[in-house]
Amino acid sequence: MTNNHESRSPSDRPSFSPAGAATGPQITLRSPAELADALPYMLGFHPSDSLVLVAVHGEGGRFGGRLRVGIPTASAEWEDTARQVADCLIRGSERRGGKPDGIVVYLCQEPRGEESGRRVMTRLRPLAQRIRLACGALDVPVLEALCLSEGRFWSYVCPDERCCPAEGTRLAAVGTSVMAAAATFAGLQVRGSLKEIEGRLAPLRGAVAAEAERALDRAAAALMPRILDGATREEVGAETISLARDLMRRMTLAPPVEGGTHADDWDDALLGHDEAASLILGLQDREIRDIAAEWMEDEEAAPALRLWRALARRCVGAYGEHAAAPLTLAGWVSWSTGDEPTARIAFGLALRADAEYRFAQLLHHACNEGIDPEGLRECLREERRSREPRRARSSAGTRPPGRRGRTTPQRGSRRTAGSEQ
């Protein structure tokens, strides 16, 4: 298991991506059941509504590149999707050392309405066949194609009813398989489901979302004149950083009792709508966002991640595009602290919010390419160190540092100044 890529839908321009060589004990997977059980350990989470391709190399069947995209709702898109993912994985493998000798395909989707898992398998069979044809056209065979649904799996390749019955085969209970034991020994984690991870970053709904949007309207009306005025724009930046630090301290002093959604509810209650709105708008400034990115390690990482997640959830209604900044920061902290699966999901959501957000594009690409984040961490540490003398001069009466150049509002009437990425 050496490579990984996360993407949400075909429009996200999926790309092959390595994540470094595996360490720890090796394990041999000999059956469709063991392949099905291994999937969440390869990705770091349980995929939902996902098409996953895994490259296989050599006589021993070593796992290589992995690619995940969302399953298109419209079957008319399946043929294009099949060609894109096959080309992306195979060409990417060739660029990085060798063409795969085979591919394992997973189609993961839960039933809708009164649909059964077996019906899901039947409905997705044409997509599996298109992927097999697309891979075959590039001279790489699909060794196995599995559908995972409703706690069971089916093979589209194996015709033997003894090991792959028509009613499907029940997946092993979580944590009970040989793969689970080996993964635990190697320190691999499965961080819940894709749906759960995305849910922690999704916009709020209902009455609280309406209140958050009104607060963003108020903050935009008050902040825009100050940002456009060169004399006060730097003050806004300093206020934004000060507010962010205050909120991080507040979170540090009020750790959640539980994880998951209960922790998110706790964090949401710690933030007032007006202060969250001011911080969201302030982070649209590139320089302020870059300073915030420095809080990516040691005791600052945990409260920063909680804050960025909470701010992403406040980017509601007409301000959905503003979520690109806190989502990218959440992804960066996750990647910096070793949680690559969550990082890729956060970067993907940032690009869904704003496909042109350059900061997210660069970090997403670097993470997918398996680049060590330490290089970027050191750059941010150096920038922080170099700013200390300037801060001392500012407190002595010199002009505080600000972003060079003039800020111009970007796309849309809601977009605030400082949105260069």
Parts of the chain with a pLDDT under 50: 1-24, 395-421
Q: What is the DSSP string of 326-353?
A: HHHHHHHHHHHTT-HHHHHHHHHHHHHH
pLDDT tens per residue across span 161-183: 888 888 999 987 765 566 666 66
pLDDT at position 421 is: 42
Confidence (pLDDT) at 408: 32
- Please give the full DSSP string across 62-131, using - where no structure is assigned: EEEEEEEEEPPSSGGGHHHHHHHHHHHHHHHHHHTT---SEEEEEEE----TT--HHHHHHHHHHHHHHH
pTM, two decimals, is 0.76
Residue 122 in tokens: 């039947």
pLDDT score, position 162: 80
Residue 119 burial (10 A CB sphere; 0-12, 13-18, 19+): middle
Q: What is the pLDDT of residue 72?
A: 94
Task: Quote the pLDDT of residue 317.
Answer: 96
Q: Which residues make Cβ contacts (< 8 Å) with residue 203, sequence separation at least 6?
A: 209, 312, 313, 314, 315, 316, 317, 320, 323
Please tell me whether residue 179 adopts helix, strand or coil conformation: helix
The pLDDT value given to residue 6: 38
* Nearest to 107, CA basis, from 92, 87, 121, 88: 121
Q: What is the rounded distance in angstroms from the CA atom of residue 42 to the CA atom of residue 53? A: 11
Contacts with 413 (C-beta within 8 Å, 6 or more apart), sequence order: none
pLDDT at res. 28: 64
